[in-house]
Structure 1
Amino acid sequence: MGLLDSIVGSLTGGEGQQNSLSQLQAVWSWVQEQGGVEVLIQKFQQGGLGEILSSWLSNGSNQSVSHSDIQSAFSQQDLQSLADKLGTDIQGASGTLSEVLPQLVDKISPQGEVHPEASGNAQNDLGSLVDSLFKR
């Protein structure tokens, strides 16, 4: 099972994968627009969510993050940008982030550090990331 399958499967329990794949692609595109994974990490730390983020980067279990936590880490403008991609409102966007980000960050940091292919290159789409992580 590849990274993409693993993330999508963890979000859906194996059902409704097409919708979750669309959500995951929208979130990944949005993360890149925000400046990439490093900026995402900075925003979480600045929003007082460093401990939650650390759980996603570590090898232990992932702490959950709430809608309000997401809204404290990102501006309304940032969340509206994602909401537009998802075809929802800010509450829906923050809910999607609270579901997707723990698994996404966990999967792109298998050894506790963000995989080099997931950081620093805003040109990476999700497919390119998966290919590079698994050297396809």
Structure 2
Amino acid sequence: MGLLDSLVGQVLGQSGQASAGQGGIAGALMQVLANQGGAQGGGLGGLLEQLRGAGLGQIVDSWIGQGANQPVSPQQLQSALGNDQVQNIAAQSGMEPQDFLSQLSQHLPRIVDQATPNGRVPDEGTMSV
């Protein structure tokens, strides 16, 4: 199990979502973090660049840096990821797109925050899925 896998499990467990419904969102989160099918290079760094490219740089930087994590809305994530990617990931995880986006907006800031404890995005080799 890779570091991202552990972080997703840890964040979902902390939020009380270690239930039967966790499988869908856990799989969806792993897909987003691996950025499968995304326009960028992939991995956590590729995802963060995709979000920055959509105008969410200040929000992303708050997750990476010290201090409070700024929230991100489901609508902002849909705009950043694109309808096709959202539809594909939601379908593959057995979730409705709006449920997926809602869960993603809730969990992504904490996952990125925990994956970047020193204020730096780790090398892709250390963040295996």
TM-score bracket relative to the smaller structure: 0.7 to 0.9
1:17 alignment partner AA:
A
Distance 2:57 2:101 in 1: 17
Is the alpha carbon distance of 1:108 and 1:90 closer, same or farther for their aligned partners in structure 2, counting shifts above 3 Å?
same
Work out whether residues 48 and 60 of structure 2, in 8 Å CA contact, stay in contact via their aligned partners in 1. yes
Partner of 1:29: 31
Cα 1:22–1:93 shift into 2, 3 Å: closer
Aligned-partner SS, 2:55: coil
* Alpha-carbon distance in 2 for matches of 1:48, 1:120: 27
Unmatched tracts of structure 2, length 5 or more: 1-5
Per-residue CA deviations over 1:80-109 (Å, capped at 9, x if unaligned) read 122113312221221121012101111110
Q: Is the 8 A contact 2:90 2:96 kept in 1?
A: yes
Aligned residue pairs, count: 118
CA drift of 1:42 comes to: 1.2
Deviation at 1:115, TM superposition (A): 2.5
Per-residue CA deviations over 1:16-75 (Å, capped at 9, x if unaligned) read 313336523431133211321121111111111101001100121111111111112111
SS of equivalent to 1:17: coil
Distance 1:89 1:25 in 2: 14
Q: 1:51 to 1:6 in 2, by over 3 A?
A: same
Query: Matched residues, percent identical?
Result: 29
User: If the length of structure 1 is used for normalisation, what is the TM-score?
Assistant: 0.74
Q: How does 1:7-18 map to 2 (within 5 A)?
A: 7-12=11-16, 16-18=17-19
Root-mean-square deviation (CA), in Å? 2.3
Q: Give the gaps of 5 or more residues in structure 1.
A: 126-136
- Alpha carbons 1:62, 1:102 under 8 Å: kept: yes
How far apart are the structure 1 equivalents of 2:87 and 2:125? 24
Q: Which residue of 1 aligns with 2:45?
A: 38
Greater relative contact order (Cα < 8 A, sep 6+): 2
SS at match of 2:25: helix
| TM-score normalized with structure 2 length | 0.77
**What is the CA-CA distance between 1:120 and the residue it aligns to?**
5.2
